[in-house]
Structure 1
């Protein structure tokens, strides 16, 4: 695949509206790293199927539950009090850095998992995004469309 998933994720997340769309989807229960991986695969024309979706979920879910979520919960828990305590603010920033590093490792794991999947001529972006978001509570279709547009340009 031409570009690594981490670089793709950083450049995609920096596009207008993507951060907000991802946060809305995250609040509905969608794993943002899995969503960015899906966008990356879809943009490259990798065919989406249930077996591949399940393989990616089996990589993402344990790491997200055991590593990313506890760091995010701690960072969120400290948000208000850290505004009043400079020492805690510094620790919170370190936790934030660790959380981002944990997400980078998750993206690397997802990329390795999908490494041998062949690229085809057409794109399968919508199928990937819908597949990853399936089952999310109160799915924000506008946020999903915003991400699709940001990645595909259409």
Structure 2
């Protein structure tokens, strides 16, 4: 397992099926950074407590709304036009890189908060994903199970 959240997120996201599952959950309103953080916390054996879930959300929600989502919106708006305009395509790639960096910064903030939480519990008893997913994403049990299985390599 990767010690830091960013490396864990990159390696997990690169696994088969994870990107598609994350994007599906994102369309249902889930914060992919929170889900990846939840998987990381499960792997570490950190016990999910309501105040910890709230603390993670308190960091993630405003960052997503004010930083990540505006970048994502611009990137998506430019998709079609960028296919016809090389200059705009290059700008779109820069926005995409900024969006990824904003997500990395969020993961660093989440890790800084969670780093001090005690670990060593059983990863199979953890329910971080369910606590950090939106209500709609929680209804997609298959997607959450797929993410958990990908993270554990099962």
Common topology (TM > 0.5): yes
Inter-partner Cα distance in structure 2 for 1:126 and 1:139? 18
Inter-partner Cα distance in structure 2 for 1:6 and 1:111? 9
Residue in 1 that maps onto 2:144: 144
Pick which of 124-133 and 114-123 moved more: 124-133
Quick one: structure 1 residues 153 and 138, their matched pair in 2 at CA, closer, same or farther if it must change by over 3 Å? Answer: closer
Residue in 1 that maps onto 2:26: 26
Residue in 2 that maps onto 1:112: 112
Residue in 2 that maps onto 1:8: 8
Q: TM-score normalised to the size of structure 2?
A: 0.94
3-state secondary structure, aligned to 1:121: coil
3-state secondary structure, aligned to 1:23: helix
Structure 2: state its 5+ residue gaps: none
Residue in 2 that maps onto 1:75: 75
Q: TM-score normalised to the size of structure 1?
A: 0.94
Taking only aligned residues, the RMSD between alpha carbons, in angstroms, comes to: 1.7
Conserved 8 A contact 1:46-1:124: no
Pick which of 5-14 and 127-136 moved more: 127-136
Structure 1: state its 5+ residue gaps: none
Conserved 8 A contact 1:24-1:140: no
Q: CA deviation at 1:140?
A: 2.4
Inter-partner Cα distance in structure 1 for 2:140 and 2:5? 24
Q: Does 1:122 align with 2:122?
A: yes
Inter-partner Cα distance in structure 2 for 1:128 and 1:121? 13
What count of residue pairs does the alignment treat as equivalent?
154
